[in-house]
Structure 1
Amino acid sequence: MSFKWEGVMPAVTTKFNDKDELDLKMFETNINAQLEAGVHGIVLGGTLGEASTLLEDEKRTLTRSTIEIVKGQVPVLMNIAEQSTKGAIKAAQQAEDDGAKGLMMLPPMRYKAGDRETIEYFKAVANSTSLPIMIYNNPVDYKIEVTLDMFEELLECSNIEAVKESTRDVSNVTRIINRFGDRLKIMTGVDTVALESLLMGADGWIAGLVCAFPAETVAIYELQKAGKIKEALEIYRWFLPLLELDINPKLVQNIKLAETYTGIGTENVRAPRLPLHGREREHVINVIETALRTRPVLSDYKNLKVLV
């Protein structure tokens, strides 16, 4: 397993301008902020990336542009969220051709596939590419659960290497470790149980609020890895009201609004999404502004001695 499934990997938002075109200038600003904070990878085209609204050529532009920006500092992953096996295979091959170093994969979109169908879907894509794959297991939002028994079959494909664990059941981290040991790497995928999952043995964090608060997110990861749990907890407790913006149907709008407050994004979303308004907007602004007033001063988290 040559790919390093570890650390903080932002599921970055896709930036649009006022004409509903890709805003690559602001996108680069955000990616550079992530790199400066010390993230360990970049995930494109996920839920936060408004994957379902992106055109094929836009996804390819995002992949190529990100690779140019990061210049090999961290791996770039593309999410595969397609309605058909044929479409998923094509998307995976395009991502590989464009230079992506890994894939995140959701089960089939729209159609609620059965266990056998889901397994065959993932296997067909895995067998079509040499890229390492992380299965995105989010039954809460996408209504298909990839069970441990299903993973038993999926791991017959050597390039299926990791899971984005988003069941929201922290004990599932232990179940995966007990069943598969080091064969299946675990990237926690729900911000509000991220530290708990890391402490239970998850290898890394596919994060959401990192899009607006990259340094705080990476600091939590690095501090817990170095055994400085108390310091990590202090940041995490401050962070939680913000992190709860990620477990909301309007997580994209919430996080993009937060990005405007930290100067690394805009509120532009692609219809049918619309920016927040009314009481909903007032609530999110209050959460963000309260957090900014009490924002912690971070220690030198980039140079910690990691516990073996």
Structure 2
Amino acid sequence: MSLQWKGVFPAITTKFTAEGELDLEGFSANLKEQLAAGVDGIVLGGSLGEASVITTAEKELLVKTAISLAGNIPVVLNIAESVTTEAIRQAKLAAEWGAKGLMLLPPMRYKADDRETVTYFKAVAAATSLPVMIYNNPVDYKIEVTLDMFAELAEIPNIQAVKESSRDVTNVTRMINRFGDRFAILCGVDTIAMEELLLGANGWVAGLVCAFPRETVAIYRLTKAGRTEEATRIYRWFMPLLELDIHPKLVQYIKLAEAQAGIGTEFVRAPRLTLVGEERERILNVINTALAKRPQLPDYLSITIN
């Protein structure tokens, strides 16, 4: 099954009501904004999607709702499980629901060694025909997927991409030097996305796109079209917002940004709590300062990226 691992893939937030129930109306409204802005794929159930607190039944609803709206835009489901058998079950369910690809984290809770991690990835990939993107995030999940590990994974044809979230931009060059175009590389850290795109990354699994989809897609397309000065101008404006993506409370921060931008709400599911007091005022100041200076964008949707 083919999937073009390039472009902007929003890591969509999961929308909840004030009572903590799934808010499909709010989810759909935000998703329509993403699609209108020109995103290239959708990632559901990631860290930003509060994967640890949504049920399998809710994942099914989210996947099927996204597919009903997305048309030809691929919907990718994240798998973040502690047990290999459960990860395999989730992969099979994702295919049944109609997802076009998987994003796969290393085993959760247990810090697997290199051999265990590679075996886990291979077992899940072997259980499905869906294309797989490995999520390499040693900062938050304490397991680094090294180049030697990718060399072992290269023999599995449906392991096709990496969400590169090590926060080390040189990993893009190392991956390309060693593997050429065997693996598509998508930046997973908002604050270094333009740098990694310039170094050859194929795409961007983005966070602040949830609140600012047009600006995110504009940066991607302008950068890939060689219009670096225009892209840099937007990126510099965006940076204070992008820094919200690298905080432990990225979910609350980005949902607050969605609310201020008019395409979401602040509601999270416990044990997370919405922001209060000085912290909320500080983040609101970052968001509202940026909104007051929101840049005019060129006609980025007319740019064709090969």
Question: TM-score higher than 0.5 here?
Answer: yes
Output aligned runs, 1:214-253, within 5 Å: 214-253=213-252
| Percent identical residues | 66
Q: 2:44 corresponds to which letter in structure 1? A: L
Matches within 5 A, 1:196-215: 196-215=195-214
Q: Deviations over 1:245-304 (max 9, x none)?
A: 000000000000000011111111000000111111111000000001110000100112
Partners in 2 of 1:155 and 1:139 — Cα distance?
A: 20
Classify the secondary structure of the residue corresponding to 2:281. helix
CA shift, 1:156, in A, is 1.1
Q: Is structure 2 residue 284 aligned with structure 1 residue 285?
A: yes
Q: Matched residues in 2 for 1:261 and 1:150: separation?
A: 42
Answering whether residue 167 of structure 2 is matched by residue 168 of structure 1, we say yes
Aligned length: 306
5 Å-filtered alignment, 1:49-128, equals 49-70=49-70, 72-128=71-127
2:263 matches 1:264 = yes
Question: What SS does structure 1 have at the residue aligned with 2:279?
Answer: helix
2:22 match: secondary structure? coil
Give the secondary structure class of the aligned counterpart of 2:110.
coil
Q: In the aligned structure 2, how far is the partner of 1:112 from the partner of 1:124?
A: 17
User: Structure 2: how far apart are the matches of 1:212 and 1:183?
Assistant: 32
Q: Cα deviations across residues 8-51 of structure 1 (Å, max 9, x unaligned)?
A: 00000000012211100010000000000000000000000000
Q: Which amino acid aligns with 1:105?
A: L
Amino acid at match of 1:236: Y
How far apart in 1 are the matches of 2:109 and 2:123? Answer: 18
- Aligned pairs (5 A) from 1:187-198: 187-198=186-197
Residue in 2 that maps onto 1:158: 157
User: What residue identity is the alignment partner of 2:290?
Assistant: A
Show the counterpart of 2:8.
Answer: 8
Structure 1 residues 305 and 7: alpha-carbon distance in aligned structure 2, compared to 1, 3 A threshold: closer
Question: How far, CA to CA, are the matches of 1:97 and 1:287 in structure 2?
Answer: 42
Let me know the Cα RMSD of the aligned residues: 0.9
Secondary structure of the 1:111 match is coil
SS of corresponding position for 2:235: helix
Aligned position for 1:137: 136
Aligned to 1:146: 145
**Structure 2 residue identity aligned to 1:84:** V
How does the TM-score come out when normalised to structure 1? 0.98
Structure-2 separation of matches of 1:59 and 1:245: 25
| Equivalent position amino acid for 1:4 in 2 | Q
After superposing on structure 2, the runs of 4+ consecutive aligned residues of structure 1 that deviate more than 3 Å are none
Aligned partner letter, 1:27? F
Give the whole-Å Cα distance in 2 for the aligned partners of 1:302 and 1:172.
30
| Whole-angstrom CA distance in 1 between matches of 2:126 and 2:225 | 38
Distance, in Å, in 2 between the alignment partners of 1:107 and 1:43 is 17
**Which residue of 1 is the match for residue 274 of structure 2?**
275
CA distance in 2, matches of 1:45, 1:8: 16
Cα offsets for 1:194-250 (capped at 9, x unmatched)? 000000000000000000000000000010111100000000000000000000000
Q: Distance in 2 between matches of 1:73 and 1:299?
A: 25
Report the Cα distance in structure 2 between the residues aligned to 1:275 and 1:155, rounded to whole angstroms.
42
Determine the structure 1 residue equivalent to 2:27. Answer: 27
Question: Any idea what the Cα deviations from partners look like across 1:151-192, whole Å, max 9, x if unmatched?
Answer: 111111100000000000001100000010010110000000
Q: CA deviation at 1:2?
A: 2.8
SS at 1:146 equivalent: coil
Using the alignment, how far apart are the partners of 2:69 and 2:22 within structure 1?
15
Give SS of 1:298's match.
coil
Which consecutive residues of structure 2, in runs of 5 or more, have no partner in the other structure?
A: none
Partner amino acid for 2:134? I
1:43 aligns with 2:43: yes
Q: Distance in 1 between matches of 2:162 and 2:123?
A: 17
Q: Distance in 2 between matches of 1:285 and 1:131?
A: 40
Unaligned runs of 5+ in 1: none
In the alignment, the residues of structure 1 paired with residue 211 and residue 24 of structure 2 have an alpha-carbon distance, to the nearest angstrom, of: 17
Instruction: Name the CA distance, whole Å, in 2 between partners of 1:88 and 1:305.
Output: 37
Deviation for aligned residue 1:305: 5.0
The one-character-per-residue Cα deviations of 1:44-68 (angstroms, maximum 9, x if unpaired) are 0000000011111111111111111
2:205 alignment partner, SS class? strand
TM-score of the aligned structures, taking structure 2 as reference length: 0.99
